[in-house]
Structure formats: C-alpha cells, structure tokens
Amino acid sequence: MSAHADTHAHDDHGHHHKETFVTKYIFSQDHKMIAKQYLITGTIMGVIGVLMSLMFRMQIAWPEEPNVLFEALLGKWAPDGVMDADIYLALVTIHGTIMVFFVLTAGLSGTFSNLLIPLQIGARDMASGFLNMVSYWLFFVSSVVMVISLFVEAGPAAAGWTIYPPLSAVELAQGGSGMGMTLWLVSMAIFIASSLLGSLNYIVTVINLRTKGMSMTRLPLTIWAFFVTAVIGVISFPVLLSAALLLIMDRSFGTSFFLSDIFIQGEVLHYQGGSPVLFEHLFWFLGHPEVYIVLLPALGITSEIIATNSRKPIFGYRAMVMSILAIAFLSTIVWGHHMFISGMNPFLGSVFTFTTLLIAIPSAVKAFNYITTLWKGNLQMNPAMLFSIGLVSTFITGGLTGIILGDSALDINVHDTYFVVAHFHLVMGISALYGMFAGIYHWFPKMYGRMLNKNLGYLHFWVTAICAYGVFFPMHFIGMAGLPRRYYTNSNFPLFDDTANANVVITMFAVVGGIFQLVFLYNFFSSIFFGKKAVQNPWRSNTLEWTAPVEHFHGNWEGEIPHVYRWAYDYSKPGHDEDFVPQNVPMKEGEEELHH
C-alpha cells in the first residue's frame, strides 16, 4: 500500500527537525499548530461578530434611543449615541460575513479538519504542510483586510452579506459601496484562495495518507464530513470568486455583467444589458452549499462525540455516510430556493422546490440516527456531549421550518422576513456553533494537553441553550406577522407595533447569551495555561488521535504509525472487558466486524 510506504518515508522527518520560535508558533507547518492558529483567529473574529449582533439587536429593541455603548464603539456613526441607519446595515452585513465565513467556515473547518484529519487517519501531517501554512496566512490576511474595512471613511460594506448588485456595485446607492465594498471583495477573494488551498489539502490527505487498514469504510464520520465538505468547497467557492471578480469589473472597469438601465441621484449610468439575477445565481451557487460547508463538519463532530459519550456505536454508520453524500449532492442543485421571487422563471421555482424538499430526507435520517444512538446508551454528560445533543435539538427545530421556506408558494409571504432569520440561525448558525463548541470541549485536551473546566462548561451550555431558543423561537412568529428583516427601525410601521415587546425580549436573551460567552472565553484562555493536565485518552475514545502522546511534536507518533484493524465505533462491544476498543487493537480470533 503506497500510503503505508509514504508514512515510513516521513518517519525520520519530525524528530530531528530543530524548530525555532518562528517556525514553531508563527510560520508553522505542523497541522496541530495551524489548527490552533485557525481557532484563535476564528475566536477573535467571532467576538467581533457577536458584539455587532448585540449592537444591532439593541437598536431593534430600543430604536433610535441614545446608547452609551454605541457612542463608545461606533464613534462618528452614532452621533450622541443614536445609531446611524447606514451603520446599522453595515453591522448586519459584516456580522453575517464574519460569522458565516470567518467563524463557521474557517474557524470550524480550519480548526478541526486540520487537527483531526492527520491524527484520525494516521498520518504524520497534511499532504502539504507548506500549502497548509499558506492557507492559514491567507486567511489571516483576509481577516485583517475585513477588519480594516470597518474603519474606512464612508463606512464598511452595507449591502447585506449577499452583496446583491446594483446596491453593492454603485457607490451612489450607498456610502458603504465605495471603499468598504472594495475591501470586502478583496478580503473575500483572499479568503476563497485560502479556503481552496485548505480544501485541496484535506482531500489529498484523506485520499492518500490513510494508515494501513484505514479503509474508507473504517473512517470516523468526522473525517467523512470534513472530506465531503472540502469537496463541496472546491466545487462551489470558485463560483463565488468569479462572481466577485465580475462584480469588481463592473465596479471598477465599466463592464455590465450585472447592471443595466440605472438612473440614480439624477444621473443615468452607462450600464446596459447586464442582469442582477445572474449575480444571484452565481452567489447562491456557492451560498447554498456554503450552508452545508458550515453544517457538515459540525454534524461530523457531533457523530463522533455522541457515539463516544453514549458508549455505543453510532447508529447506521453506512446510512450516515450515504446521507452526508446525498446532502452534499443535493446542496449543489437547490440554490434557486433563495430566488423564488427574484424574477426568474416560475417553472425554475418548481424545480428548485422539488430538489430542496428532498434534502429533508437525508436530514431526517441523520436526526433519527442520532436519537437512536442515544437509546439504551450509557450517556456520559460531558460538556461536549451536551453541545452535541443541543445541536441535534436546534438542527431539528431549525430544519423543520425549512419545509416552509423551501416551498415556493409559502416562500412568497415569508421571504426576507424574520422567519428566515430565525430559520437559518437555528439550523446552521446555532447548530454549527454548537458543533464548534462541542469540538473544542472534546479535543481541547488533544490541542493543549490540558482539560477545560467542566462546571464552567455546563454553565456555558445551559445558559447558551436557553438564550438561543429565547432569541430565535419567538423570532419565527414576528416573521410570520410579516416583519421584514434588515429594517433599521420598525417605528414607521404602526402595523408592526405589536411585535415591539417581543423584540425587546429577544434582545434581552441575546445580550445575556452574549455576555455568558465570556464564561467560555475565560475557561478557554485560562485552561490553556492553568487547566488540569490531561491524560492521553480522557474520554476513553476509539479513534487514533488518542493513541498519540499528549505532548505535541511534528510527526504525531513516535515510532511507527499505528495500524487500523476495525471501525471507530466498537463501543460496548460484547466479548471485550472495556467498553471501548480502539481502532488499533487487532481483531480477536473469531471476532466479526459488525458494520459490514
């Protein structure tokens, strides 16, 4: 097996390498260090994104009231502490961009794909450590550019995270469509390059560097999820890049890909023959798969954590893999459900309704398999397990309303209302965030050699869980009352006055939930230095990463890489004394590999 030979060639590699501070901590090519870099950068971006959401939530709850927080943080955009309408849209826009791309794509996939792919398949490192390093630093640069864009004179991009032209293309339409949008596009172009390098690396590594015995059908579900996510990324991110490039051409070089017949502020612009609908197609060709780029890694992490902490095999391994593949395939042919009322042909709407609702089938299979995995288990309620159960809960609640939004006839009336906001925050935002938290609680010992404090973890989970439902559950109802999203204030519509109190309640839940993330930040940063020292396999897990020693070095295992003899889910298998059998334990005589 060539993979095996390869790993041997690597054997001498890690041990004799002298590492300086710069090569170890900054321009590191070690996947474990790169994972940590992604996590820390993603966390910092996450703090910015959440802070923004708290600010615009306060504006919605107490519209146009002076707020000292705005005065302090927004400066000239909040004269006398009253938030400006332009900056409101900018906050909404940048919150979306940061959370979707920088936190839940790079922060989630970047951290856990990097950490777990080599460790769980039994490889010394990624296929290309150098490209991996470049990928992280491109992500870092794109984060810096995005943050810089917040400080430009005319304001950051404010056309919504979907940046539909002409609003995003014509500076006369909105201040944020000037320099702010330019930097947004530059940042995203760099981000996409970073994401592509990362994804290609993940794909090549999973295909080529599996240790002896690690067949595709023995891969942990985490790796399946990361692998398929990377494939979707490689297929769809280039389309967003081309959309961004065409938009840059329209903005700066006078082309008319997306623009036509525009009269604005007293002048006719020269654009002729383009179509904004074309941009919507290109954007959502990435935009919808992006939902699954965010969600699948979280589901993979959850599968692993639920099985480990239930002390049971994941129920229906093959069905889980098939449903990941089905979701991945379907995710690339449903983008039109964001465009039912965009002016595209209604017949296309019918097609997209059909494909969209099909996604509910593999999703339902996954949800029931998780629930069945819990059945008759011996559940170890570690914080990671709580977040995983929480994920299944929000995935169901948020996913179910997809049946309404995916149905073109029903979408007519709830499109772009708070119903949509509630739906996607629960099903992808909160679910993916829970997946990320679960991953951090579970693999923190692997990353830092220390344990996170579990009691703080419990506090963090329960408050977050209550606040997440407190925010997004009532939001469905004000959406059904017809309240449009992205309104700076609803006070010009007496029609919606009866939703005002609900908005105050929602904001309060959001603020409390936001503040309690400090518990997590404290736990995280203090445990890096002062946490209790971890043992090698604290959760008594089967996967290979726990066979590697606690202390890190480039190359992961001393001596030979462990061989794999079984799948990752032999928990509580009859005929064994312990309730777990790691993948590198050979089969006993007469023992059967059950899942085939």
Partner 1 sequence: MTAFLTIIIVLFIAIAIWQMVKIFDLAQVGSDNGQVATDRDNTINGYLMMGFLIFIYVITILSFWYLGDLPLMSNSASEHGPQIDNLMIISMVIIFIVQTFTQFLLHYFAYKYKGEKGKKALFYADNNTLEAIWTFIPVVVLAGLIIYGLFTWSSIMNIDETEDPIVVELYAQQFNWKARYAGEDNTLGMANVRLIDIDRANILGLDESDPNAQDDIITTELHLPVGKPVLFKMRSQDVLHSAYMPHFRAQMNCVPGMITQFGFTPTITTAEMRENPDIIEKVANINALRKERREEIEAKGQELTYEFDYLLLCNKICGKSHYNMQMKIVVETEEEYQAWLSQQQTFKNSLVK
- Of 5 and 268, which has the nearer Cβ to partner 1? 268
Q: Residue 37 has which token pair? A: 């870099």
- Of 107 and 531, which has the nearer Cβ to partner 1? 531
Q: Please tell me the distance from the alpha carbon of residue 515 to that of residue 445, in angstroms, as a whole number.
A: 25
CA end-to-end span of the chain: 22
Q: Residue 237 has which token pair? A: 């991110």
Residue 332: how many other CB atoms lie within 10 Å: 17
C-beta of 342: minimal distance to partner 1 in Å?
5
C-beta of 373: minimal distance to partner 1 in Å?
9
- Of 238 and 482, which has the nearer Cβ to partner 1? 482
3-class SS string, 149-179: HHHCCCCECCCCCCCCCCCCCCHHHCHHHCH
Phi first, then psi: give them for residue 23, nearest 5 degrees: -75, -25
C-beta of 109: minimal distance to partner 1 in Å?
26
- Of 197 and 438, which has the nearer Cβ to partner 1? 438
> Please, are residues 569 and 582 in contact by the beta-carbon 8 Å criterion?
no
The strand pairing partners of 450, in sequence order, are 533
C-beta of 328: minimal distance to partner 1 in Å?
17
DSSP 3-state of 84:
coil
Q: Please tell me the distance from the alpha carbon of residue 170 to that of residue 175, in angstroms, as a whole number.
A: 9
- Of 13 and 450, which has the nearer Cβ to partner 1? 450
Q: Residue 425 has which token pair? A: 């925050």
Q: Residue 227 has which token pair? A: 């692998």
Q: Cis omega (within 30 of 0) on the bond before 166? A: yes
C-beta of 302: minimal distance to partner 1 in Å?
12
Q: Residue 584 has which token pair? A: 């590198």
C-beta of 200: minimal distance to partner 1 in Å?
33
- Of 3 and 459, which has the nearer Cβ to partner 1? 459
Tell me the one-letter amino acid at 114.
N
C-beta of 272: minimal distance to partner 1 in Å?
8
- Segment 170-179 long-range contacts (CB within 8 Å, at least 24 positions apart): 170/259, 170/262, 170/264, 170/269, 172/264, 172/265, 172/267, 173/264, 174/86, 174/89, 175/86, 176/86, 176/89, 176/90, 176/93, 178/152, 178/154, 179/149, 179/152, 179/153, 179/154
- Of 29 and 43, which has the nearer Cβ to partner 1? 43
Q: Please tell me the distance from the alpha carbon of residue 435 to that of residue 300, in angstroms, as a whole number.
A: 9
Q: Fill in the DSSP letter of residue 572.
A: S
Q: Please tell me the distance from the alpha carbon of residue 135 to that of residue 132, in angstroms, as a whole number.
A: 5
> Please, are residues 279 and 165 in contact by the beta-carbon 8 Å criterion?
yes
- Of 109 and 499, which has the nearer Cβ to partner 1? 499
- Of 129 and 445, which has the nearer Cβ to partner 1? 445
C-beta of 134: minimal distance to partner 1 in Å?
35
Please identify which residue in the block is written with the tokens 């490192």: 125
C-beta of 170: minimal distance to partner 1 in Å?
7
- Of 325 and 365, which has the nearer Cβ to partner 1? 365
Q: Residue 518 has which token pair? A: 């400090």
Q: Residue 68 has which token pair? A: 């000292």
Q: Please tell me the distance from the alpha carbon of residue 222 to that of residue 307, in angstroms, as a whole number.
A: 11
- Of 234 and 502, which has the nearer Cβ to partner 1? 502
- Of 216 and 403, which has the nearer Cβ to partner 1? 403
C-beta of 485: minimal distance to partner 1 in Å?
8
C-beta of 472: minimal distance to partner 1 in Å?
10
> Please, are residues 353 and 337 in contact by the beta-carbon 8 Å criterion?
yes
- Of 23 and 526, which has the nearer Cβ to partner 1? 526
C-beta of 325: minimal distance to partner 1 in Å?
14
- Of 96 and 297, which has the nearer Cβ to partner 1? 96
274 HSE (CA, 13 A, CB side): 23
C-beta of 498: minimal distance to partner 1 in Å?
5
Q: Residue 455 has which token pair? A: 């009691």
User: Going along 250-329, which residue ranges are E strands?
Assistant: 263-264, 267-268
The strand pairing partners of 533, in sequence order, are 450
C-beta of 424: minimal distance to partner 1 in Å?
16
Q: Please tell me the distance from the alpha carbon of residue 362 to that of residue 378, in angstroms, as a whole number.
A: 27
Q: Please tell me the distance from the alpha carbon of residue 139 to that of residue 90, in angstroms, as a whole number.
A: 22
